[in-house]
Amino acid sequence: MQIAVIGAGIAGLACARRLVDGGHEVVVFERSKTPGGRAATRRTEIGGFDHGAQYLTARDASFVDQVDAWSRDGVVEPWPVEAHSLQAMAGEPPVREPSTGRTLRWVGSPGMSAIGEKMAEGLDVRYQSPIVRIDPVDGARGTPPRWSLQRREVDSDVVAVTEGLFDAVVVAVPAESAVNLLGAEATIARPAGQAHLEPCWALLVGFAEPIAADLAKVGDAAFVNGDRLAWIAHESSKPERRAGERWTVHAQSAWSVEHLDDDPEDIKAKLLRAFHDATGTNEQPIYAAVHRWRYALARTSLSCDFLWDGERRIGACGDWCRGFRVEDAWLSGVALAAAISA
Ligand SMILES: Cc1cc2nc3c(=O)[nH]c(=O)nc-3n(C[C@H](O)[C@H](O)[C@H](O)COP(=O)(O)OP(=O)(O)OC[C@H]3O[C@@H](n4cnc5c(N)ncnc54)[C@H](O)[C@@H]3O)c2cc1C
Protein backbone atom coordinates (compact mmCIF):
# COMPACT_ATOMS: atom_id res chain seq x y z
CA MET A 1 0.00 0.00 0.00
CA GLN A 2 0.98 3.63 -0.39
CA ILE A 3 0.69 5.13 3.06
CA ALA A 4 0.99 8.70 4.29
CA VAL A 5 2.22 9.25 7.84
CA ILE A 6 1.60 12.72 9.24
CA GLY A 7 4.17 13.66 11.88
CA ALA A 8 7.82 12.63 12.22
CA GLY A 9 7.85 12.34 16.00
CA ILE A 10 8.82 9.08 17.68
CA ALA A 11 5.38 7.51 17.02
CA GLY A 12 5.20 8.46 13.34
CA LEU A 13 8.77 7.41 12.66
CA ALA A 14 8.38 4.09 14.50
CA CYS A 15 5.21 3.39 12.52
CA ALA A 16 6.75 4.42 9.20
CA ARG A 17 9.86 2.28 9.75
CA ARG A 18 7.80 -0.85 10.45
CA LEU A 19 5.51 -0.17 7.49
CA VAL A 20 8.49 0.21 5.15
CA ASP A 21 10.01 -2.98 6.58
CA GLY A 22 6.66 -4.64 5.85
CA GLY A 23 6.94 -3.71 2.16
CA HIS A 24 4.73 -0.60 2.05
CA GLU A 25 5.55 2.65 0.29
CA VAL A 26 5.52 5.35 2.93
CA VAL A 27 5.80 9.12 2.81
CA VAL A 28 6.14 10.98 6.12
CA PHE A 29 4.98 14.61 6.19
CA GLU A 30 6.53 16.71 8.94
CA ARG A 31 5.63 20.29 9.78
CA SER A 32 9.04 21.31 11.10
CA LYS A 33 12.56 21.19 9.67
CA THR A 34 13.75 18.25 11.77
CA PRO A 35 12.53 14.83 12.95
CA GLY A 36 11.86 13.73 16.55
CA GLY A 37 8.96 16.00 17.56
CA ARG A 38 9.00 16.57 21.30
CA ALA A 39 12.20 14.52 21.69
CA ALA A 40 14.09 17.63 20.62
CA THR A 41 17.36 19.51 21.06
CA ARG A 42 17.76 23.26 20.57
CA ARG A 43 21.25 23.98 19.26
CA THR A 44 22.63 27.35 20.38
CA GLU A 45 25.96 29.16 20.29
CA ILE A 46 26.70 27.94 23.82
CA GLY A 47 25.69 24.29 23.20
CA GLY A 48 22.57 22.17 23.06
CA PHE A 49 19.49 22.12 25.25
CA ASP A 50 17.07 19.18 25.38
CA HIS A 51 14.09 21.46 25.81
CA GLY A 52 11.38 18.79 25.35
CA ALA A 53 11.66 15.19 26.57
CA GLN A 54 14.44 15.10 29.14
CA TYR A 55 15.27 11.42 29.00
CA LEU A 56 13.61 8.13 28.24
CA THR A 57 12.95 5.05 30.27
CA ALA A 58 12.23 1.54 28.96
CA ARG A 59 9.89 -0.95 30.58
CA ASP A 60 8.31 -3.00 27.77
CA ALA A 61 10.61 -5.79 26.52
CA SER A 62 10.37 -4.71 22.87
CA PHE A 63 11.30 -1.14 23.72
CA VAL A 64 14.14 -2.35 25.95
CA ASP A 65 15.48 -4.17 22.85
CA GLN A 66 15.11 -1.00 20.76
CA VAL A 67 16.94 1.09 23.36
CA ASP A 68 19.71 -1.55 23.51
CA ALA A 69 20.05 -1.30 19.73
CA TRP A 70 20.24 2.51 19.91
CA SER A 71 22.80 2.16 22.68
CA ARG A 72 24.96 -0.13 20.54
CA ASP A 73 24.76 2.44 17.73
CA GLY A 74 25.75 5.26 20.09
CA VAL A 75 22.40 6.99 19.64
CA VAL A 76 21.55 6.90 23.34
CA GLU A 77 23.67 6.79 26.49
CA PRO A 78 22.69 6.19 30.08
CA TRP A 79 22.43 9.37 32.15
CA PRO A 80 23.54 8.28 35.61
CA VAL A 81 21.77 11.03 37.46
CA GLU A 82 19.87 10.87 40.69
CA ALA A 83 16.84 13.12 40.31
CA HIS A 84 16.10 14.92 43.55
CA SER A 85 12.81 16.25 44.67
CA LEU A 86 12.70 19.90 45.57
CA GLN A 87 10.00 21.96 47.26
CA ALA A 88 10.19 25.47 45.79
CA MET A 89 7.37 27.92 46.37
CA ALA A 90 7.61 31.63 45.55
CA GLY A 91 8.91 33.59 48.55
CA GLU A 92 10.00 30.49 50.48
CA PRO A 93 13.47 28.96 50.67
CA PRO A 94 13.82 25.74 48.63
CA VAL A 95 13.71 22.49 50.59
CA ARG A 96 15.18 19.27 49.33
CA GLU A 97 12.95 16.23 49.75
CA PRO A 98 13.97 12.56 49.72
CA SER A 99 15.38 11.37 46.39
CA THR A 100 12.96 9.79 43.93
CA GLY A 101 15.24 6.74 43.77
CA ARG A 102 17.44 5.45 41.00
CA THR A 103 15.81 4.97 37.61
CA LEU A 104 17.75 3.94 34.51
CA ARG A 105 17.45 7.08 32.39
CA TRP A 106 18.65 7.23 28.79
CA VAL A 107 19.38 10.36 26.79
CA GLY A 108 20.05 10.89 23.10
CA SER A 109 23.69 11.41 22.25
CA PRO A 110 24.79 14.16 21.72
CA GLY A 111 21.20 15.35 22.26
CA MET A 112 17.67 13.98 22.42
CA SER A 113 17.17 14.88 18.76
CA ALA A 114 19.70 12.16 17.82
CA ILE A 115 16.95 9.57 18.35
CA GLY A 116 14.59 11.03 15.76
CA GLU A 117 17.50 11.63 13.37
CA LYS A 118 18.47 7.97 13.60
CA MET A 119 14.87 6.79 13.18
CA ALA A 120 14.39 8.97 10.09
CA GLU A 121 17.39 7.48 8.30
CA GLY A 122 16.32 5.83 5.05
CA LEU A 123 12.71 7.05 5.29
CA ASP A 124 11.07 9.42 2.81
CA VAL A 125 10.41 12.31 5.18
CA ARG A 126 9.15 15.57 3.67
CA TYR A 127 10.10 18.31 6.09
CA GLN A 128 8.40 21.71 6.34
CA SER A 129 5.24 20.03 5.11
CA PRO A 130 2.39 20.90 7.47
CA ILE A 131 -0.73 18.95 6.54
CA VAL A 132 -3.87 21.03 6.86
CA ARG A 133 -6.55 18.71 5.43
CA ILE A 134 -7.19 15.04 4.79
CA ASP A 135 -9.91 14.16 2.28
CA PRO A 136 -11.31 10.78 1.27
CA VAL A 137 -11.62 10.13 -2.44
CA ASP A 138 -14.25 7.47 -2.95
CA GLY A 139 -13.53 4.66 -5.38
CA ALA A 140 -15.65 1.80 -6.66
CA ARG A 141 -18.49 0.71 -4.40
CA GLY A 142 -17.32 -1.66 -1.67
CA THR A 143 -13.69 -0.54 -1.81
CA PRO A 144 -12.09 1.67 0.81
CA PRO A 145 -11.57 5.33 -0.08
CA ARG A 146 -8.17 6.62 -1.05
CA TRP A 147 -6.83 9.73 0.60
CA SER A 148 -5.59 13.09 -0.60
CA LEU A 149 -3.73 15.46 1.70
CA GLN A 150 -3.39 19.20 1.53
CA ARG A 151 -0.27 20.79 2.85
CA ARG A 152 0.53 24.42 3.40
CA GLU A 153 3.54 25.66 1.49
CA VAL A 154 6.10 27.10 3.89
CA ASP A 155 7.53 30.56 3.06
CA SER A 156 5.40 31.03 -0.02
CA ASP A 157 2.04 32.45 -1.06
CA VAL A 158 0.73 29.01 -1.98
CA VAL A 159 -1.87 28.15 0.62
CA ALA A 160 -2.33 24.48 -0.11
CA VAL A 161 -0.74 21.85 -2.28
CA THR A 162 -2.44 18.53 -2.87
CA GLU A 163 -0.53 15.35 -2.12
CA GLY A 164 -1.67 11.85 -2.84
CA LEU A 165 -3.57 9.65 -3.47
CA PHE A 166 -2.71 7.27 -0.63
CA ASP A 167 -4.28 3.94 0.27
CA ALA A 168 -4.02 4.63 4.00
CA VAL A 169 -3.24 7.53 6.34
CA VAL A 170 -1.63 7.52 9.77
CA VAL A 171 -2.03 10.65 11.87
CA ALA A 172 0.86 10.78 14.37
CA VAL A 173 0.46 14.24 15.90
CA PRO A 174 -0.71 15.36 19.38
CA ALA A 175 -4.35 14.46 20.08
CA GLU A 176 -5.77 17.98 19.78
CA SER A 177 -4.10 18.45 16.38
CA ALA A 178 -5.24 14.97 15.33
CA VAL A 179 -8.86 15.90 16.09
CA ASN A 180 -8.54 19.00 13.90
CA LEU A 181 -7.22 16.94 11.00
CA LEU A 182 -9.62 14.03 11.48
CA GLY A 183 -12.77 16.02 12.21
CA ALA A 184 -15.06 14.22 9.79
CA GLU A 185 -13.63 10.76 10.54
CA ALA A 186 -15.68 10.28 13.67
CA THR A 187 -14.55 6.72 14.45
CA ILE A 188 -11.06 8.09 15.06
CA ALA A 189 -11.72 11.74 15.90
CA ARG A 190 -14.27 10.99 18.65
CA PRO A 191 -11.98 8.82 20.82
CA ALA A 192 -8.98 11.06 20.04
CA GLY A 193 -11.02 13.93 21.47
CA GLN A 194 -10.99 12.18 24.84
CA ALA A 195 -7.21 12.61 25.19
CA HIS A 196 -5.74 15.84 26.49
CA LEU A 197 -2.21 17.19 26.38
CA GLU A 198 -1.17 19.99 28.70
CA PRO A 199 1.21 22.77 27.71
CA CYS A 200 4.67 23.45 29.11
CA TRP A 201 6.81 26.56 29.02
CA ALA A 202 10.53 25.72 28.97
CA LEU A 203 13.41 28.03 29.95
CA LEU A 204 16.85 27.40 28.45
CA VAL A 205 19.50 29.20 30.41
CA GLY A 206 23.32 29.31 30.21
CA PHE A 207 25.99 30.92 32.38
CA ALA A 208 29.60 31.94 31.79
CA GLU A 209 30.82 30.01 34.84
CA PRO A 210 29.47 27.17 36.96
CA ILE A 211 26.74 28.81 39.00
CA ALA A 212 27.06 29.05 42.71
CA ALA A 213 23.74 27.27 43.03
CA ASP A 214 22.86 25.40 46.13
CA LEU A 215 23.73 22.25 44.21
CA ALA A 216 23.44 20.10 47.28
CA LYS A 217 19.71 20.75 47.03
CA VAL A 218 19.26 20.67 43.27
CA GLY A 219 21.91 18.14 42.24
CA ASP A 220 22.03 17.71 38.48
CA ALA A 221 18.29 17.17 38.10
CA ALA A 222 15.29 17.79 40.29
CA PHE A 223 11.56 17.31 40.11
CA VAL A 224 10.23 20.51 41.61
CA ASN A 225 7.10 20.63 43.70
CA GLY A 226 6.19 24.25 43.45
CA ASP A 227 3.84 26.86 42.15
CA ARG A 228 5.94 27.70 39.09
CA LEU A 229 8.53 25.05 38.28
CA ALA A 230 8.21 21.33 37.65
CA TRP A 231 11.73 20.28 36.60
CA ILE A 232 15.31 21.54 36.55
CA ALA A 233 18.14 19.74 34.75
CA HIS A 234 21.82 20.48 34.33
CA GLU A 235 22.34 19.88 30.61
CA SER A 236 26.09 19.67 30.99
CA SER A 237 25.74 16.66 33.32
CA LYS A 238 24.41 14.56 30.45
CA PRO A 239 26.87 12.34 28.55
CA GLU A 240 28.58 13.49 25.34
CA ARG A 241 27.52 17.12 25.81
CA ARG A 242 29.60 20.18 25.06
CA ALA A 243 31.14 21.64 28.20
CA GLY A 244 29.45 24.72 29.65
CA GLU A 245 26.94 25.70 32.27
CA ARG A 246 23.52 25.08 30.73
CA TRP A 247 20.24 24.36 32.49
CA THR A 248 16.81 23.42 31.19
CA VAL A 249 13.83 24.38 33.31
CA HIS A 250 10.22 23.29 32.83
CA ALA A 251 7.27 25.16 34.26
CA GLN A 252 4.35 23.46 35.98
CA SER A 253 1.42 22.56 33.70
CA ALA A 254 -1.03 24.76 35.63
CA TRP A 255 1.36 27.71 35.48
CA SER A 256 1.90 27.10 31.76
CA VAL A 257 -1.87 27.04 31.15
CA GLU A 258 -2.29 30.29 33.08
CA HIS A 259 0.51 32.00 31.12
CA LEU A 260 0.01 30.24 27.77
CA ASP A 261 -0.36 33.39 25.67
CA ASP A 262 1.85 35.73 27.69
CA ASP A 263 4.69 37.65 26.08
CA PRO A 264 7.73 35.32 25.89
CA GLU A 265 9.95 38.07 27.37
CA ASP A 266 7.72 38.18 30.47
CA ILE A 267 7.80 34.39 30.68
CA LYS A 268 11.59 34.45 30.45
CA ALA A 269 11.89 36.94 33.31
CA LYS A 270 9.41 35.05 35.50
CA LEU A 271 10.98 31.64 34.93
CA LEU A 272 14.47 33.02 35.49
CA ARG A 273 13.30 34.43 38.82
CA ALA A 274 11.80 31.05 39.70
CA PHE A 275 15.08 29.35 38.72
CA HIS A 276 17.05 31.75 40.93
CA ASP A 277 14.68 31.11 43.83
CA ALA A 278 14.85 27.33 43.44
CA THR A 279 18.64 27.14 43.05
CA GLY A 280 19.58 29.88 45.47
CA THR A 281 21.77 31.64 42.91
CA ASN A 282 21.62 35.17 41.57
CA GLU A 283 23.98 34.75 38.62
CA GLN A 284 22.86 36.51 35.45
CA PRO A 285 22.84 34.29 32.36
CA ILE A 286 24.82 34.82 29.17
CA TYR A 287 22.03 33.01 27.28
CA ALA A 288 18.32 32.71 28.00
CA ALA A 289 15.45 31.65 25.76
CA VAL A 290 11.99 30.20 26.24
CA HIS A 291 10.05 27.65 24.24
CA ARG A 292 6.33 27.05 24.46
CA TRP A 293 5.15 23.49 24.03
CA ARG A 294 1.46 23.93 23.38
CA TYR A 295 0.97 20.17 23.61
CA ALA A 296 3.58 18.72 25.96
CA LEU A 297 2.42 15.99 28.30
CA ALA A 298 -0.60 13.75 27.87
CA ARG A 299 -2.36 14.05 31.22
CA THR A 300 -5.37 12.16 29.88
CA SER A 301 -4.59 9.27 27.57
CA LEU A 302 -6.78 6.58 26.05
CA SER A 303 -5.49 3.29 27.48
CA CYS A 304 -5.30 1.79 24.01
CA ASP A 305 -2.30 1.27 21.75
CA PHE A 306 -3.62 3.14 18.69
CA LEU A 307 -6.79 4.05 16.79
CA TRP A 308 -7.49 2.39 13.45
CA ASP A 309 -10.52 2.29 11.17
CA GLY A 310 -9.78 -0.75 9.01
CA GLU A 311 -12.68 -0.10 6.64
CA ARG A 312 -11.55 3.40 5.77
CA ARG A 313 -7.84 2.71 6.34
CA ILE A 314 -7.17 5.70 8.52
CA GLY A 315 -5.68 5.71 11.99
CA ALA A 316 -3.83 7.59 14.68
CA CYS A 317 -0.93 6.87 17.00
CA GLY A 318 1.06 8.79 19.57
CA ASP A 319 2.01 8.85 23.23
CA TRP A 320 -1.51 10.02 24.10
CA CYS A 321 -3.05 6.71 22.98
CA ARG A 322 -1.43 4.77 25.80
CA GLY A 323 0.44 7.14 28.16
CA PHE A 324 2.70 10.17 28.10
CA ARG A 325 6.25 9.03 27.47
CA VAL A 326 8.64 8.47 24.57
CA GLU A 327 8.20 4.75 25.18
CA ASP A 328 4.42 5.05 24.77
CA ALA A 329 4.86 6.93 21.49
CA TRP A 330 7.20 4.27 20.10
CA LEU A 331 4.99 1.37 21.21
CA SER A 332 1.92 3.06 19.77
CA GLY A 333 3.55 3.58 16.36
CA VAL A 334 4.87 0.02 16.22
CA ALA A 335 1.50 -1.46 17.22
CA LEU A 336 -0.39 0.56 14.60
CA ALA A 337 2.03 -0.55 11.88
CA ALA A 338 1.45 -4.17 12.89
CA ALA A 339 -2.32 -3.69 12.72
CA ILE A 340 -2.12 -2.07 9.28
CA SER A 341 0.11 -4.81 7.90
CA ALA A 342 -2.18 -7.46 9.35
C1 LIG B 1 8.53 19.51 28.06
C2 LIG B 1 8.42 18.03 27.83
C3 LIG B 1 9.05 17.13 28.70
C4 LIG B 1 8.95 15.76 28.48
N5 LIG B 1 9.67 14.91 29.28
C6 LIG B 1 9.68 13.59 28.97
C7 LIG B 1 10.56 12.70 29.65
O8 LIG B 1 11.38 13.12 30.46
N9 LIG B 1 10.50 11.37 29.35
C10 LIG B 1 9.64 10.89 28.39
O11 LIG B 1 9.65 9.67 28.12
N12 LIG B 1 8.81 11.72 27.71
C13 LIG B 1 8.82 13.05 27.98
N14 LIG B 1 8.03 13.90 27.27
C15 LIG B 1 7.03 13.33 26.35
C16 LIG B 1 7.65 12.86 25.04
O17 LIG B 1 8.37 13.90 24.45
C18 LIG B 1 6.51 12.39 24.16
O19 LIG B 1 5.79 11.37 24.82
C20 LIG B 1 6.93 11.86 22.79
O21 LIG B 1 8.05 12.54 22.27
C22 LIG B 1 5.72 11.97 21.87
O23 LIG B 1 6.02 11.51 20.58
P24 LIG B 1 4.89 11.53 19.45
O25 LIG B 1 5.51 11.03 18.21
O26 LIG B 1 3.68 10.84 19.97
O27 LIG B 1 4.46 13.07 19.29
P28 LIG B 1 5.32 14.33 18.88
O29 LIG B 1 6.69 14.24 19.40
O30 LIG B 1 4.51 15.52 19.30
O31 LIG B 1 5.40 14.26 17.29
C32 LIG B 1 4.40 14.79 16.45
C33 LIG B 1 5.08 15.35 15.20
O34 LIG B 1 4.06 15.77 14.31
C35 LIG B 1 4.42 17.04 13.74
N36 LIG B 1 3.17 17.67 13.34
C37 LIG B 1 2.20 18.18 14.13
N38 LIG B 1 1.18 18.63 13.38
C39 LIG B 1 1.50 18.39 12.08
C40 LIG B 1 0.85 18.62 10.83
N41 LIG B 1 -0.36 19.21 10.76
N42 LIG B 1 1.48 18.24 9.68
C43 LIG B 1 2.71 17.64 9.73
N44 LIG B 1 3.37 17.40 10.91
C45 LIG B 1 2.77 17.77 12.05
C46 LIG B 1 5.15 17.74 14.86
O47 LIG B 1 6.00 18.77 14.35
C48 LIG B 1 5.94 16.57 15.49
O49 LIG B 1 7.20 16.41 14.87
C50 LIG B 1 8.16 15.29 27.42
C51 LIG B 1 7.54 16.18 26.55
C52 LIG B 1 7.70 17.54 26.73
C53 LIG B 1 7.10 18.50 25.73
- Enumerate domains of the chain plus CATH numbers: 1-33+127-195+302-342 (3.50.50.60), 43-112+196-300 (3.90.660.10)
- Ligand 1 contact, 7 CB (< 6 A): yes
Whether 130 lines ligand 1, by a CB cut-off of 6 Å, is: yes
pLDDT of amino acid 251: 98
pTM here is: 0.96
Write down the pLDDT at residue 44.
Answer: 97
pLDDT reading at 219 higher than 90: no
Q: How far is the CA of 3 from the centre of ligand 1 (A)?
A: 21
Confidence band of 213 (pLDDT split at 50, 70, 90): low
Q: Is the CB of 325 under 6 A from ligand 1?
A: yes
Question: From the CA of 121, how far away is ligand 1's center (Å)?
Answer: 18
Q: Mapped to the 3 state alphabet, what secondary structure does 148-203 carry?
A: EEEECCCCCCCCCEEEEEECEEEECCCHHHHHHHHCCCHHHHHHHCCCEEEEEEEE
* Pairing mode, strands 229-234 and 245-251: antiparallel
76: confidence class by pLDDT, cuts 50, 70, 90: very high
* pLDDT at residue 214, as a whole number: 60
Is ligand 1 within 6 A of the CB of residue 28? no
Query: Once rounded to an integer, what is the mean pLDDT over residues 119-147?
Result: 94
Pick the atom of ligand 1 nearest to 12's CA: 25
Q: Can you say whether the dihedral through the CA atoms of 162, 167, 172, 175 is positive or negative?
A: positive
Least confident of 168-172, 212-216, 297-301: 212-216
Looking at ligand 1, which atom is closest to the CA of residue 250?
1
